[in-house]
Amino acid sequence: MTSYSLLRLKNIKKQKMTNLTTVEDFLRDDDFIRYTLDCETDRCGRWAQYLNASAQIRAAFLRATDILLHLDECSALTPQQVQCLKQRIEYSLKLAK
């Protein structure tokens, strides 16, 4: 078995061990975030299994996907808060220079 095959096998075992069941679990998972936002097709296999999971897990998976893809559709920040935070960042960067 080549080292590449061993690595693949290790990754598959690792993937099977991952147990995401709630919306929060998915939203905190780095691979899920990358898969959803970066459309990384090489990760599709792993995530396709969630579509065949129990109704509850499937719903959590779909809900988390929906949340990540629609994060820019509303805002809880006022324009003043946005500006204030921006100025804070700019000030910190100015100090760091």
Q: Which residues bind other proteins (CB under 8 A)?
A: 24, 27-28, 30, 33-34, 37-38, 67-77, 81-82, 85-86, 88-93, 95-96
Give, as one character, the DSSP assignment of residue 29.
Answer: -
Measured from the CB atom, the residue of 1 and 72 that comes closer to other proteins is 72
Give the Cα-Cα-Cα angle 57, 11, 34 (nearest 5 degrees): 60
C-beta neighbour count of 32 within 10 angstroms? 22
For the record, the structure tokens of 8 come out as 């693949």
* Min separation Cβ 70 and other proteins, Å: 6
Measured from the CB atom, the residue of 9 and 37 that comes closer to other proteins is 37
